[in-house]
Structures are given as C-alpha cells and as structure tokens.
A and B are shown apart, each in its own frame.
Chain A
Amino acid sequence: MPEQVSIKTQNAYAQTFKIFVCMIAIILAGFYLLSSVIIPIIISFTLYAIFEPATLYLVRHNVNHSLAILIVLVFLIFFTFIAIGFAIPQLVEQIGLLQAKLPSIFTKLEGFLTQYSAEFSEQIGIDLNVSDMIISTLSQSSSLGQSFLLNISNRLLGFTIVMLLVPFLTYYLLKDFRSVRNHMMNWLPNASFELGWLIYHRVSQQLQAYTRGVMIQSVTMSLICMIGFSLIGLDIPILLGAITGILNLVPYVGPVISILLSLLVASAMTPFDPSLLYLGVLVIITAQVIDNVVVIPAVIANAVNLHPVQVILGIIIFGSLFGTLGVVLAIPAIATAKIIFNNLYADILNESQKQSL
C-alpha cells in the first residue's frame, strides 16, 4: 500500500512537471515576443497593482470608472512631474559631483591597494604586482564605462519613446484588465475552471502584496539613507540614498553594493575623514535594521514564502539568464512558479487518487 502511494505521488510529480515545463515554455515565448516592450509592460502592471485600490475606492463612491482612472492618473502624472522637477536638478548636480570624484576615487583605491599589496608581498615574500593588475582593470572598466555611456545615450531616445507607452498601458489596464482577464479565464475548460481561478487569485494576491511592499520598502530605505547621509555630512546624499533604496530591490546583494558605494564616496572626500567610512556603513546598517524589524514584518511578511537558498539561487539563475531585469524579477517569478506548481500538483494527485478508488 505505501508503495502504491509513492508511485502515485511520483506519477503526479512527473505529470505536474510536464505541464509546468510547457507553461514555462509558453511564458518564455511570450516574454521573447514582447521583449522590446517588456519593461513598460512590467512598469504598467506595477502601477496597476499600486493604483487599482484607489480606482476601486472612487468607483465604490459612485465616481464613473473612466473618470476615477483619469483622476488617479492625473494625480500620478502631477506628482511625478513635481518629483522630477524637484529631484532631477539635484540628481544632475550630484551625478556631476560623482563624475568629478571618480578619478580621485580610483586614484585613492589604487593607492590603498598598492600599499596593502606591498605590505602583503613583503609578508609572504612574493611580488603580487597588484598595482599593474589594478591599472589594467581600471583602464578596462573605464573603456567599458565609456562604451556603456555611449550605449545608454544611443538607447535613451528609443527607451523614452517606449516609456511613453506606460501611461496609456496603465490607463487601459485600470480600465479593462478585469474584463479581459474574465474573458481569458472563460477559455478554461470546465474541469480546470476552479483551479485556474484559485491559482490566479493566490498569485495575484501575492504579487500585489509583494509589489506594494517592495515600493514602500524602497521609499523608506531611500528616505532613511538620504537623511542619514545628510546628517553625517557625506557627499551626494540624495543620489546615494536613492541608489541605496533602488538597490534594496535586490535582496542580499543590493545592500552589500550600496555599502561599497558609500565607502567609495566617503573615501574620495577631501579632506579624507576615516570616521565617515564607519558612519556611512552605520547609516546603511541602521536602515537595514529598521527595514528588517519594522518594514518587512509590517508590509512584506507572508507576501512571499521562500527559503533564503531558493532566493539566492533564483537571483543567480535569473540574473545570468535575463540580466538586471532578471535579478529584480527573480523573487516574484519564483514565488509565482511555486504557487502554480503546488496547486497543479495537489490537483493532479487528488485526481490520480480518486481514479484509483
């Protein structure tokens, strides 16, 4: 009897896996077909997840649906313009400062590493010639940086045109997504209708909670770091705070990069103040503590139920497959895949157990 159960479980796993692989293939094909507009689609869906409750709130208070969407979008565009008008001049100024500081950051880094490599070489008795290695690496990264900047300026126009799609897509998502979704769900056969809705409901609940949570988390982290960096007197506090908030979207790896960035900026300041190195790290660690103790339990807890190993492996795999976008989307994608697999498996196992009765 236990052997029969085990065979049934294995068969159910195999069948679920086959269906799951087919679904993944279809989704990847869809991503490939839409690759040129995938970023505005993702941004529009994110905005939809954020603003749908506000639209529904207005509709429930007897505001016409289209008018409710327009009100929400006008608010969104208004605040975006205010934010851009306030932030862009400061950011441009701070990027200019960072650009001016980059040579001195590299020089200081080189001097620091040369000094320590010399001490290290003396201790172990082997000439590591780190200085040459660094110079070659820096020149390579400098040329890479130049080509990256050229690439960016070439793509900026195309990107701007594609990004103009965002308000239109968001409007139509807010207006018609539910009816299109219902129509598509009606294509499901009767046997899968309930399962389809259950999976949709669980995935959408998790993704909406995750998106809202991550947005709140990023803004909170950015604000804490901006205030912290300003208080300790670190250069370019607004830019650095904003970058820290955005990097926080990438778990485990993001905070480490933001610490390194703050160390670089602190080390390039003239006159050099060693205490700024510790204080910069302290600000990020404080923000991380607040994030882990207050923000995550309040807004992201239970949004995704993933083991840290799953998260790290997912980030590595998605990052190597899809680059930066893959790193940001790794967690919601794995969480979604997990829900779909578990629900399909439960249904197929129940079906096979029922058939054998």
Chain B
Amino acid sequence: MRNIFWSNIFKSPTGELQSIVELWKDTPLFENIPTTHIKFLSKKMHVRNFTTDEKIFQLGSQGAGALMVLEGSVRIMAHKTELAFLETGDFFGEIALAEPEKRTADAYSVANTRLVYFLKQDLEEWIEYEPRLGARFLMNLSATLAKRLFLANKTIANQ
C-alpha cells in the first residue's frame, strides 16, 4: 500500500508518455485526431497505480473522466455481474467525459494495475481552443457511446 502511495506521488517513468500516446491513438476516441494533439492531451493526463482487487470507482459515484489501462487488467461489474474484462490499451468510464454525474458500473483492478486518467476538465479546456478537432473528438465519443448502448441493448434482448 505504501509503495502504491509513493508511486502515485512521484513522476511516471520517462518514455511512458510515448506509450500513452500510442495506446490512445489506437482507440476510437482519438480517430482522426493528429498525434501532436494526442501528445498535448496525454501530457495533462494522470497515471495512477492500483493494487490487486482495489476499487477504482463504484456505481453511483461522481466521475471526473475516462480511464485507460496502461498495465494490468480491470474488471467492470454491475450488480455482481461482470460486464467487461479490460487489458492494456482498453479504456472505460468515458461516459464521464460527456456527463460527470454518476458512474454506471463498478470497476476493480484485477492485478497490480497502472491506469491513465483523462479528465473532463482537460478535454473542455482543449475543446475551447481547438473547437474543430474538439467537435471531431465529441463525434468519436458519441459513436463509442452509441456502440456501447447498442451492445447493451443486444445483451438485454438475448437474456
């Protein structure tokens, strides 16, 4: 626990920024967004360390932004049902980029995990001076959310 605490305070290893940029670049959220801008945003992101079975967030809590798995794995649960198992490069909690009110599921780290927080406030600041790219990002976000809604509907229909 103490190690996690101190590792959250001190800087991420050098070179990690580049891998964060590469991982975000491969996600649908940053489709058609220039790498320089992904790098600019990645510099503002926050890397946090979680121990095995640590709660990342819980259903109903307020969300500050989206998260991406940098190392390790994450389990997404709702009412004791596993919704997803995420590994390096997967992202979750992106609803909070659109609506910060409530998290819609619980998230736990499965092993020792490093996560990258992409905060809504940094996105808003970026959109303010890059409205054209910001609109593209928001379209990507809408498409991602629509896809997740479609999958959720399909799961419910199959039950």
**Chain B residues in 8 Å Cβ range of A191:** 55
Q: Is the CB of B61 within 8 A of A350?
A: yes
| Interface flag for B100 (CB, 8 Å) | yes
Q: How many residues of A contact B (CB 8 A)?
A: 24
Which residues of A in the span 150-174 have a Cβ within 8 Å of any Cβ on B? none
Smallest CB-CB separation from B50: which chain A residue? A190
Give the Cβ gap from B43 to chain A, nearest Cβ, in Å.
Answer: 10
Q: Find chain A residues with CB under 8 A from B117 CB.
A: 193-194, 197
Interface status of A343 (Cβ within 8 A of chain B):
yes
Q: With an 8 A cutoff between CB atoms, is A201 at the interface?
A: yes
B8–chain A nearest beta-carbon distance, Å: 6
A347:B64 contact, CB within 8 angstroms: no
The reply to whether B55 and A197 contact each other, CB–CB distance below 8 Å, is no
Return chain B residues, CB-CB under 8 Å to A194: 57, 61-65, 117
Output the least CB separation between A324 and chain B (Å).
Answer: 33
B64 engages A197 (CB within 8 Å): yes
CB distance from A124 to the nearest CB of B (A): 63
Query: Which residues of chain B are near A197, meaning CB under 8 Å?
Result: 64-65, 117, 119, 121
Contacts of B5 in A (CB 8 A): 189
Q: Does A108 sit at the interface, judged by CB under 8 A? A: no
Within the assembled complex, what's the spacing in Å between the Cα atoms of A201 and B120? 9
Q: A189-B5, A190-B8, A193-B117 are in contact. Are A201 and B64 (CB under 8 A)?
A: yes
Known pairs A187-B9, A190-B56; A60 contacts B46 (CB<8 A): no
Are A182 and B46 in contact, with the CB atoms below 8 A?
yes
Asked if B48 and A347 make an inter-chain contact with CB atoms under 8 angstroms apart, the answer reads no
- Given A60-B129, A201-B64, A353-B60, A193–B48 Cβ distance below 8 Å? yes
In terms of DSSP, what is the predominant structure of the interface of chain A? helix
CA distance A352 to B76 in the complex (A): 20
A343 CA / B63 CA spacing, docked (Å) = 12
Q: Is the CB of B129 within 8 A of A346?
A: no
A98 at the A/B interface (Cβ < 8 Å)? no
Name the distance in Å between A127's Cβ and chain B's nearest Cβ: 68
Contact of B59 with A by CB under 8 A: yes
Contact: B9 with A346, CB < 8 Å? Answer: no
Does residue B54 face the partner (Cβ distance < 8 Å to A)?
yes
Q: Is the CB–CB distance between B58 and A350 below 8 Å?
A: yes
Which of A191, A197, A347, A353 counts the most chain B CB atoms within 10 A? A197
Roughly how many angstroms separate A193 CA and B5 CA in the complex, as a whole number?
A: 12
In the bound complex, CA of A186 to CA of B4 (Å): 11
A354:B58 contact, CB within 8 angstroms: yes
Bound CA span A165–B9, Å = 30
Q: Least Cβ distance of A181 to chain B in Å?
A: 11
Chain B 1-38 near chain A by CB (<8 Å), digits 1 or 0: 00011001100000000000000000000000000000
Also in contact, A195 and B62, with CB within 8 A (given A182-B46, A186-B46, A189-B5): yes
Q: Is the CB of B48 within 8 A of A190?
A: yes
Q: Show 15 A/B contacts (Cβ-Cβ < 8 Å), sorted by A.
A: A182-B46, A186-B9, A186-B46, A187-B9, A189-B5, A190-B55, A193-B117, A194-B64, A194-B65, A195-B62, A197-B64, A197-B117, A197-B119, A350-B61, A354-B59
Cross-chain contact A347 with B62 (CB below 8 angstroms): yes
Min C-beta distance of B77 to chain A, whole Å: 12
Indicate whether A307 reaches chain B with its CB closer than 8 angstroms. Answer: no
Determine how close the nearest CB of chain A comes to the CB of B92; give it in whole angstroms.
Answer: 13
- Given A60-B129, A189-B5, A197-B119: A354 in contact with B62 (beta carbons within 8 A): no
State the CA gap A346–B101 with chains docked (Å).
10
Instruction: Please give, as numbers and ranges, the residues of chain B lying within 8 Å of A354 by CB-CB distance.
Output: 58-60
Known: A189-B5, A191-B55, A193-B117. A198 touches B62 (CB 8 A): yes
Asked if A346 and B62 make an inter-chain contact with CB atoms under 8 angstroms apart, the answer reads: yes
Which of A56, A190, A198 sits near B100, CB closer than 8 Å? A198
Query: Which A residues from 179 to 238 make CB contacts under 8 A with B?
Result: 182-183, 185-187, 189-191, 193-195, 197-198, 201
Contact with B along A55-81 (1 / 0, CB 8 A): 011001000000000000000000000
The answer on a CB contact under 8 Å between B62 and A343 is yes
Contacts of A187 in B (CB 8 A): 8-9
Q: Which of chain A's residues have a CB closer than 8 A to the CB of B50?
A: 190
Nearest-CB residue, chain B, relative to A200: B121
CB proximity to B under 8 Å, residues A316-357? 343, 346-347, 350-351, 353-354
Chain B residues within an 8 Å CB radius of A347: 61-62
A198 and B64 contact, CB distance less than 8 A: yes
Known: A183-B9, A197-B119, A201-B121. A190 touches B54 (CB 8 A): yes
Chain A, residues 33-48, CB within 8 Å of chain B (1/0): the string is 0000000000000000
